[in-house]
């Protein structure tokens, strides 16, 4: 399992793909993950990239690749994303009629297994699956596009997950994604989150490396 220690996960979706190597050079393999948002224009309205870009990112950084599948029928693509270099594979509860089986299938590839829940999905719906997963990703915006406003009410899910993790003696990481920046990351950390996906706050900053370091400092990463 993934030890719940603070990590910043810069979101590649917000990087400049025309100079991707230079953009990803700020990601520290020893302290950060690289978050990769895969979208299919069906499960979410946006369309991004597939295994080919994951494979390219894997050549550009040694940081663990945190691959978030915002797609329909994600179980059909697990082997391809793992072969491309995915270290962590996250699927959506809402996209999986049998989420426990999909989580086990992810682990069978050798990747860690993550489950994401949209803002409209209750924590209680996902809670029975906690023993099956390595990461719980709480979406703090509606998935599909970067740059949205953080939804503070979603931190109740984070608090509930952190409490259950302690009560059950589990070691899954709690990840938050959406609207994470210097004004919101402290509240997410205080609620119990361990992994913080940030895109615009890093890659759209005047000095991305300083923005990333400030977020690391804010959570002790």
3 state DSSP class of 183: coil
**Cβ count near 31 (within 10 Å):** 15
Which segment of 1-15, 111-125, 175-189 scores lowest on mean pLDDT?
1-15
pLDDT tens column, 62-99: 999 999 999 999 999 999 999 999 999 999 999 999 99
Task: Tell me the domains of the chain and their CATH numbers.
Answer: 7-219 (3.20.20.70)
Decide: helix, strand or coil at residue 33: coil
The residues annotated with a catalytic role in the active site are 37, 177
Which residue did the predictor score with more confidence, 5 or 201?
201
Contacts of the segment 163-167: beta carbons below 8 A, 24+ positions apart: 163/192, 164/127, 164/130, 165/4, 165/130, 165/192
Report the predicted TM-score, pTM, of the whole model to 2 decimal places. Answer: 0.95
- pLDDT above 60: residue 1: no
Q: Let me know: does 74 contact 67? Beta carbons within 8 Å.
A: no
Q: Are 58 and 66 in contact (CB under 8 A)?
A: no
Q: Is pLDDT at 135 greater than 70 in this prediction? A: yes
Q: Would strands 195-198 and 7-10 be described as parallel, antiparallel, or unpaired?
A: parallel
Contact indicator for 1, 130 with CB cutoff of 8 Å: no
Whole-number pLDDT of residue 4: 66
Backbone torsion region of residue 45, taken as left when φ is above 0, otherwise alpha when ψ lies between -120 and 50, otherwise beta: alpha
- Are 73 and 95 in contact by the 8 Å Cβ rule? The answer is yes
């Amino acid at each position: 399992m993934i030890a719940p220690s603070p990590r910043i996960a810069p979101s590649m979706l917000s990087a400049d793909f025309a100079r991707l190597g230079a953009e990803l050079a700020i990601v520290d393999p020893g302290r950060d993950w690289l978050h990769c948002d895969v979208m299919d224009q069906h499960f979410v309205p946006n369309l991004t990239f597939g295994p080919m870009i994951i494979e390219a990112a894997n050549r550009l950084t040694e940081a663990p690749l945190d691959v978030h599948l915002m797609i329909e029928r994600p179980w059909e693509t697990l082997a391809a994303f793992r072969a491309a270099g995915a270290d962590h594979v996250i699927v959506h509860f809402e996209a999986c009629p049998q989420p426990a089986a999909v989580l086990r299938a992810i682990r069978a590839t050798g990747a860690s297994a993550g489950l994401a829940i949209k803002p409209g999905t209750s924590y209680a719906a996902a809670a029975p699956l906690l023993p099956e997963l390595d990461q719980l990703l709480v979406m703090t915006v509606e998935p599909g596009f970067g740059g949205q406003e953080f939804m503070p009410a979603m931190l109740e899910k984070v608090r509930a997950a952190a409490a259950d993790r302690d009560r059950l003696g589990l070691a899954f990481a709690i990840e938050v994604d959406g609207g994470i920046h210097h004004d919101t990351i402290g509240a997410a950390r205080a609620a119990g989150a361990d992994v913080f996906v940030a895109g615009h706050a890093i890659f759209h900053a005047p000095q991305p490396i300083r923005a990333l370091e400030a977020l690391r400092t804010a959570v002790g990463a």
